[in-house]
Amino acid sequence: MLDKLEDDEYAYRRKENTYYPFHDEAEWQLGKFLVENLTQTQIAKFLKLTWFDTRERPSFTSKDQLIGWMDTLPCFTEWKVSQIAFTGYKTSQPIEFIWRDALDVVKQLFSDPTFANHMTFDPHVVQAGDQHEYGDYMSADMAWKIQVYLLSDHLPMGATQVPIILGSDKTPVTRVTGGLEMHPVFITIGNIDSEVRSKATLRAWRCVGYMPIVKFKVHPDYQTILQARLWHKCMDLILANLKAAAAEGCFMSDPFRYIRYVFTPLIAHFQKAAKAVYLSGVHMPFWRDWKYACPSVFLAAEILHTCHKFFFDHPLNWVKEAVGKHELDARFAIQHKRVGTRHFAKGVTHVKQMTGREHRDIQRTIVASIAGATPPRFIRAIRALIDFIYLAQNPVHSPDSLKSMAQALADFHSFKDAIVDAEARRGKNGAKEDFFIPKLELLQSFCGTVERLGSLMQFSADVTERLLITHCKDLFSRTSRQSKDFALQCVRILNRQEAMEIFDLFALLHSRGASLVNAIHAEDEDVITTNPALSWVSRVLPDEAKSVHGPRPVRNHFLKGILSGDALTAFQLNVTPDYKSLSPVEIRTKYSLPDFDIMLTDFMHRSSQSMGEHSLWDGKYGRLSTWNKFRLQLRSAFQPRIIMPSRVIQAYPPSEDFPFGNCDTVLIETMRDDGQTSSRVAQVRLVFQPIIRRGSNLDLPTYLSTPLLYVQYFHFIASPDEQPELSMWTVERSYVQDNTGNRYRQGAVVQITDVTHAIELIPCFGEKVASDISSATCLERHERFFLNNFADKESYHTFSTEFA
């Protein structure tokens, strides 16, 4: 990459002035800000301000000079505009196609040093025990088939695959006077790790074309056919050199500066809508001469539309019909609010359009929410579909997980008659409908797709919707939309935008004297936070790491937080407590915990006996600091080297808005009388730590030196096997009775490191929701709850495979 920058025509001038043609770094930043944020008219007005009369003017004195300087900056893959014509067919406007060579873009991606530690170059097999794991493309069957097993037509010895993934979204990025519309086409490569590709802001996707949307002056019956042929003709233009590379191979430089002989098979092409594939009436589809490209493979089903949109369009409507809209809304509205998940305060039936994130949040609690309001067989059918959707989102699959997916789909078909019996499967006219739903049929292909291409999550069309924002939003806002040369202006803006991004990197490296060659090394951290650009710059230029912008990184509490004994869980509390010095009496009153001092004394007695440490700190008269929340962080259940975003566990005292407090639930590991450990469900009522007054010579023993929790327990009353329609544990509040006959909740003091998971409890609503319960009181006014194993994909995996 630096070699290409050194070949620029003005490279010799930049040896003396890194920011040429600009005077220095400050002037470059000013020029970039003006071009990125103002129109040309506004730039001209800015440069004519009398403010400059008493101050030094920038080297550029006019908007034209500034734009000219920007156009001289180095740009790797230049955008072009081509005129497209169909002999014998006229259009309302000339067809102007904005595009760039996809092979050049792929070469740039393949050699990008920021992805060096996040790339795979060879097919491989991952074994977990006796199970073959399917993760990214390079671990799946198709990679091996192309690389090795096509005996009569295999790749040459030493060749490298650069698998091509295409994505497009039919949402127009510009609507201009005269009806000119375009929608983008994106490209990435399967060598880059899927967790990097799945984040649009990490720049692993690049736009390669803006497909024109035009109206032909023909009979309406031919409009769709001609538009489809135009789409494929444009794709042919973009991908011509990629297809040649797939057949004959080409040479590319990888991020380590090695030259590789590569082939470019097409492995996936996903779009916002299935009908956008444009097959009707196309006699020359763009993949016709693309070696190793087969529509049955690369037109793979994906999660966003085949699962999430299917759920919103069909199963959610079945539930609305079976439960009733008012009752369903009430069940969602009164659920306990957890930090980090969407709470539907007004219910879910009034929303006409939702994002994939909202679809997932509804799926999270839908099964437990309808328990008691619908027949068991109906619940089991919905549960089977949610099981399938959750399993399909696994980042890593095995033959066992694929078998579970197939079983979940089979269970749905076994119990779907209950949906008809509940009169929930109705069309717009109220008539009963069958189950011939195209997206439901597509679910049968998921297992085969995973075996061929790897995890489906790496091909989710959800990313293309985000790419519209991260790559295309406001891109053309500075273009004169009345201009006849609109497309040409767009091309100039696109080239200018990429040139500025490249020049920023060039200037940063050269002005700081960084060495690219010594910057790349194998990743050796046990826990990885994925942000390639940030991790690369932090190695090349440690002092400049803060200058790299991207998605908010996952904060790693395993580095500086409190660790559990097995180092599988990390905890973090704010440095400053919410209440610095409270007595046990004040805590009893403020948090409504009448037995707090008794439980603290009991904890100290048990801990001192088991650990052989005794303390002079007085549990009745000592002072304590308290916190209203803490964070819990786990490693991924699928890939232990990946850390998950932390979860906030709330423990707020009673207030006007929350008369019983606002407290979340967790899973705690406890020691039984027989010396074995077991898990218990508990609600965290207080987070605290004993403190020592200044000047005191007293030292706290180990069991008091880490934060403690006061919790109230639940006990299990039913297992998943006893409720097969739900397949959830049922818990109930635990109570104890004192010598006077008073009954109160069973509480205990435990160490914070005894917590293993954040969990979600959904009240057992029964046939109808009580009218006097709100989201602020649902955990307090109910006694019986379902332990929701759909809280998130990680929890689902844990409760399905470990907790039982």
**Tens-digit pLDDT profile for residues 478-533:** 555 555 677 788 888 888 888 888 888 777 777 666 655 544 444 434 344 567 77
pLDDT value of residue 521: 45
Q: What is d(CA 120, CA 115) in angstroms, rounded to the nearest whole number?
A: 10
Asked if residues 775 and 335 have their Cβ atoms less than 8 Å apart, the reply is yes
Confidence of residue 410 (pLDDT cuts 50, 70, 90): very high
Burial class (CB in 10 A: 0-12, 13-18, 19+), 106: buried
Confidence of residue 152 (pLDDT cuts 50, 70, 90): very low
Q: Specify which of 268-282, 333-347, 416-430 reaches the highest per-range mean pLDDT.
A: 333-347
Q: What is d(CA 763, CA 784) in angstroms, rounded to the nearest whole number?
A: 6
pLDDT > 80? residue 164 = yes
Q: What is d(CA 725, CA 412) in angstroms, rounded to the nearest whole number?
A: 11
Percent helix, strand, coil in the chain, to 5, is: 40, 20, 40
pLDDT > 80? residue 190 = yes
pLDDT value of residue 803: 56
Asked if residues 635 and 643 have their Cβ atoms less than 8 Å apart, the reply is yes
Residue scoring higher pLDDT (493 or 33): 33
pLDDT value of residue 544: 60
pLDDT > 60? residue 550 = no
pLDDT > 50? residue 273 = no
Asked if residues 172 and 166 have their Cβ atoms less than 8 Å apart, the reply is no
pLDDT > 80? residue 472 = no
Candidate from 199-213, 481-495, 599-613 with smallest mean pLDDT: 481-495
Burial of 311-347, coded b for 16+ CB within 10 Å and e otherwise, reads bbebbbebbbbbbeeebbbbbbbbbbebeebbebeeb
pLDDT > 60? residue 729 = yes
Q: What is the mean pLDDT of residues 241-264?
A: 92
Cα 238 from chain centroid (whole Å): 29
pLDDT value of residue 524: 37
pLDDT > 80? residue 706 = yes
pLDDT value of residue 278: 47
Confidence of residue 801 (pLDDT cuts 50, 70, 90): low
DSSP string, 572-630: E--SS-SEEEE-HHHHHHHTT-TTHHHHHHHHHHHHHHHH-------TTT-EEEEESEE
pLDDT value of residue 215: 84
Q: What is the mean pLDDT of residues 58-75?
A: 89
Q: What is the mean pLDDT of residues 112-123?
A: 88
pLDDT value of residue 277: 45
Residue scoring higher pLDDT (155 or 455): 455
- Mean pLDDT, the chain, rounded, equals 84
pLDDT value of residue 107: 94
Helix (H), strand (E) at residue 266: strand 266-271
Percent of the chain with pLDDT over 70: 86
Burial of 582-619, coded b for 16+ CB within 10 Å and e otherwise, reads bebeebbeebebebbbbbbeebbeebeeeeeeebebeb
Residue scoring higher pLDDT (162 or 13): 162
pLDDT value of residue 96: 85
Confidence of residue 171 (pLDDT cuts 50, 70, 90): low
Residue scoring higher pLDDT (619 or 602): 602
Q: Which two tokens stand for residue 781?
A: 């006014």
Residue given tokens 């039936």 in the structure block: 349
Q: What is d(CA 216, CA 94) in angstroms, rounded to the nearest whole number?
A: 10
Asked if residues 563 and 232 have their Cβ atoms less than 8 Å apart, the reply is no
Asked if residues 479 and 489 have their Cβ atoms less than 8 Å apart, the reply is yes
Cα 344 from chain centroid (whole Å): 21
Asked if residues 370 and 382 have their Cβ atoms less than 8 Å apart, the reply is yes
Which of 407, 403, 425 lies closest to 416 in space, CA to CA?
Answer: 425
Candidate from 87-91, 148-152, 401-405, 510-514 with smallest mean pLDDT: 148-152
pTM of the predicted model, to two decimals?
0.86
Kindly report, residue by residue over 460-471, the tens digit of the pLDDT: 777 777 777 666
Burial class (CB in 10 A: 0-12, 13-18, 19+), 732: middle
Q: What is d(CA 597, CA 605) in angstroms, rounded to the nearest whole number?
A: 12
Candidate from 248-252, 373-377, 535-539 with smallest mean pLDDT: 535-539
pLDDT > 70? residue 72 = yes
pLDDT > 70? residue 191 = yes
Residue scoring higher pLDDT (173 or 557): 557
Residue scoring higher pLDDT (469 or 129): 129
Asked if residues 593 and 685 have their Cβ atoms less than 8 Å apart, the reply is yes
Q: Kindly report the backbone phi and psi dihedral angles of residue 520, in degrees, each rounded to the nearest multiple of 5, phi listed first.
A: -100, 130
Classify 762 as helix, strand or coil.
Answer: strand
Q: Kindly report the backbone phi and psi dihedral angles of residue 727, in degrees, each rounded to the nearest multiple of 5, phi listed first.
A: 55, 45
Candidate from 404-408, 540-544, 683-687 with smallest mean pLDDT: 540-544
Confidence of residue 276 (pLDDT cuts 50, 70, 90): very low
pLDDT value of residue 176: 46
pLDDT > 70? residue 179 = no
Neighbours of 257 (CB within 10 A): 15
Q: Where are the domains of the chain?
A: 2-73+496-510, 80-301+461-472, 303-453, 558-759
Q: Which two tokens stand for residue 459?
A: 């091909």
Per-residue three-class SS string for 518-542:
HHCCCCCCCCECCCHHHHHHHHHCH
Confidence of residue 705 (pLDDT cuts 50, 70, 90): confident
